Amino acid sequence: MPPIIRKAGRSDLDIMIDWAAREGWNPGLDDAPAFWAADAEGYWVAEEDGVVAAALSLVRYDATYAFLGFYMAHPDYRGRGIGFALWQRAVSNAGDRRIGLDGVVAQQDNYRKSGFVYAHANFRYGGEVQRVEPPGTELVCVSAAHVPMVVAYDARFNPARRDAFLREWLKALSTRESFALIRNAEILGYGTIRACREGHKIGPLFADTETSADLIFRKLVTSVGGGRIYLDIPEPNAAARALCDRYNLKPVFETARMYRGRAPDLPLGQIYGITTFELG
């Protein structure tokens, strides 16, 4: 019998996040509510023998763009075509939308067969970082009053607005905090840091200038007292690589950003950290 393919429920997303941790993707401790808010209809699973055998997310941000992530099969069910059947069903649900994904390098050829085209590499960097408090008073903790400003700024760096996702993501939690650099009532950059299964991950980190990115990075690290920090950067941004070098962050692994449809024209030189490899 073919696998049962269905929309995932909220509890299934917790399973997917646990699987992501098992695969070494190091998800955040409180990612699920924001992921779910982005598109509660955007998560899929395939069942075999009454258990979840494969999973995939296809988060639709608007009528033109979706992002594919969490594409995994349980080790006991790999090599049986279950994951690909799930892929075909979920991708068809995206309609004519442009779809982005961050794929493992070894699977690039398979993604190309499904119409995806390579855009650039993303690299995860990680290492121990000491807290170094940045100067000045222009860095502020993002509050509810700042959310509309941050959402509008964030739209410059993504193929579609992420209003629903960010309204949840920007909530201050004991495990997650966001800071914005605001000068003369204008936002010049912002970033989020969150506790993960291991250490803390920064992302997104968007900034108009390298100096602004450095200040925000330092504020984020200081807010958690330093320690093990991870940052996912687009490879074309030389300033982001320099920031990683400056704070002794080393490459951990690489993925391929690919798109079905024309790659968006994004200001990669101002993207110092993508949100995560699971939800771009």
DSSP summary character for residue 53: E
**Amino acid in the structure at residue 153:** Y
Q: What average pLDDT does the segment 221-245 reach?
A: 97
Q: Centre a 10 Å sphere on the Cβ of residue 78 and count the other Cβ atoms it contains.
A: 13
Which pLDDT does position 240 carry in this prediction?
98
Q: What average pLDDT does the segment 17-32 reach?
A: 92
Q: And the tokens for 134?
A: 């940045």
277 has pLDDT over 80: no
Q: And the tokens for 145?
A: 């009053």
Adjacent-strand bridge partners of 194: 176, 201
Strands 200-207 and 271-273: antiparallel
Adjacent-strand bridge partners of 137: none
Which pLDDT does position 107 carry in this prediction?
86
pTM of the model: 0.94
Q: Which of 209, 213, 169, 219 is nearest to 38 (CA)?
A: 169
**Amino acid in the structure at residue 175:** T
Q: What average pLDDT does the segment 30-57 reach?
A: 94
